[in-house]
Structure 1
Amino acid sequence: MWRPKLIGSNDQFGGLQCILVDQKTDAIQASVKEIDYDFAAPKIKAGSIYEITHFHTGCNKPSHKVVPHVAQLFFNARTTFKELPTIHPHIPRHRFYLVDYTQLSTRIDKIDILTDVFGHITGIQPLEQKMVGNERLEDKCEVCIENIRKENVRITLWGDTAETFDSQNNV
């Protein structure tokens, strides 16, 4: 989930954007207009599983597309989110469409899905298990990325993402 800022403004936002992922790792983008933000945003918690009703659908606009799904969901003040118990099948908390750097040039001038270059990996901490909330052990892996300004960012991967992260193919 993220709140995009309006272009040319430092303190005005353009609603809320979400990526919803199902147990098959299929993803769809959802949007909330700024006028409905105060009503819809408190009902949504990242990582939770919901039954969602009273929403609209439309075409995913190529200029804002962050997942390859052709449709997009639109939530408003009437949208209801019924949180479901976590006994359902495991649903990943992420969905990234990563492109190998050597293939990045093939994405130039294509608008079918937004492409963002964050930086390159400079270091990877080995996989370790960490206690989460004094109740369960989760796999954890930290990855250091350097951007074009030579600034370092540390990203923590958890659970299945950490476990399946292939450091040999991602360096």
Structure 2
Amino acid sequence: MATKPNGKFSITSDSDDNIMFFRDVSPGPHETQLRFRLIHFWEAWNPLKKTLIGIEMLLIDEHGTVIQGFISPGRIERYLPKMKPGSVYKLNNFYGSSNKSVYRVSDHAVTVSFSWNSELSVLEDSPTHFDEDRFQFHSFEDFQASCDRKGDLYGNLTYPPH
């Protein structure tokens, strides 16, 4: 492990790339690499102003840790053409931003935000195994129907799918 000037740790691999795992992501800029499988992504809209907020993502690393990702509207055209759910990627340079609990879609308190100097590329023939995603996404109608049941909504959002 190597210590960076900001006191954060990164892991050095055989190819001498600095790799960080999701469990180690904290708020602030990171000049290191993440490797992950893109589980799912969607557009986030402000319903009142009818404006695009950005692209939200659900990502999983090789340790099975899930984290939320975000791309701001000005960066969408740069990254969206490369993105395909289920594909494995490496992301160099990113910003860790604190989640607001009301918008959180993963347990991690930090979101991986693509920054001005982020570089996303498909990780071809990865030497690291990334589990296939086993998440089931329900429609808004399914979610809304479950809201009146006075029970745990998350019990209806299953992992793995039935």
Higher relative contact order, chain-length normalized (CA < 8 Å, sep 6+): 2
Judge conservation of contact 1:40–1:75 (CA < 8 Å) in 2: no
| Distance in structure 2 (CA, Å) of the matches to 1:96 and 1:165 | 5
Partner of 1:151: none
Partner of 1:58: 97
Distance verdict in 2 for CA 1:85–1:66, change over 3 Å: same
Distance verdict in 2 for CA 1:116–1:64, change over 3 Å: farther
Which of 70, 73, 83 is equivalent to 1:31? 70
1:22 matched to 2:65? The reply is no
Judge conservation of contact 1:40–1:76 (CA < 8 Å) in 2: no
Pick the structure with greater CA Rg: 1
1:4 matched to 2:44? The reply is yes
Partner of 1:54, secondary structure, is strand
Q: Compute the TM-score of the two structures, normalised by the length of structure 1.
A: 0.52
Which of 41, 45, 63 is equivalent to 2:84? 45
Which of 74, 78, 86 is equivalent to 2:117? 78
The count of corresponding residues between Structure 1 and Structure 2 is 111
Distance verdict in 2 for CA 1:97–1:60, change over 3 Å: farther
- Structure 2 unaligned regions, length at least 5: 1-40, 139-145
The AA in structure 2 aligned to 1:6 is N
Percent of residue pairs identical: 17
Distance verdict in 2 for CA 1:95–1:67, change over 3 Å: farther
| Distance in structure 1 (CA, Å) of the matches to 2:136 and 2:150 | 18
Judge conservation of contact 1:56–1:74 (CA < 8 Å) in 2: yes
CA RMSD of aligned residues (A): 3.3
- Structure 1 unaligned regions, length at least 5: 109-114, 119-160, 167-171
Structure number with the higher strand fraction is: 2
Partner of 2:80, secondary structure, is helix
Partner of 1:91: 131
Judge conservation of contact 2:134–2:161 (CA < 8 Å) in 1: no
Judge conservation of contact 1:59–1:71 (CA < 8 Å) in 2: yes
The AA in structure 2 aligned to 1:41 is L
Structure 1 position 89, deviation (Å):
1.1
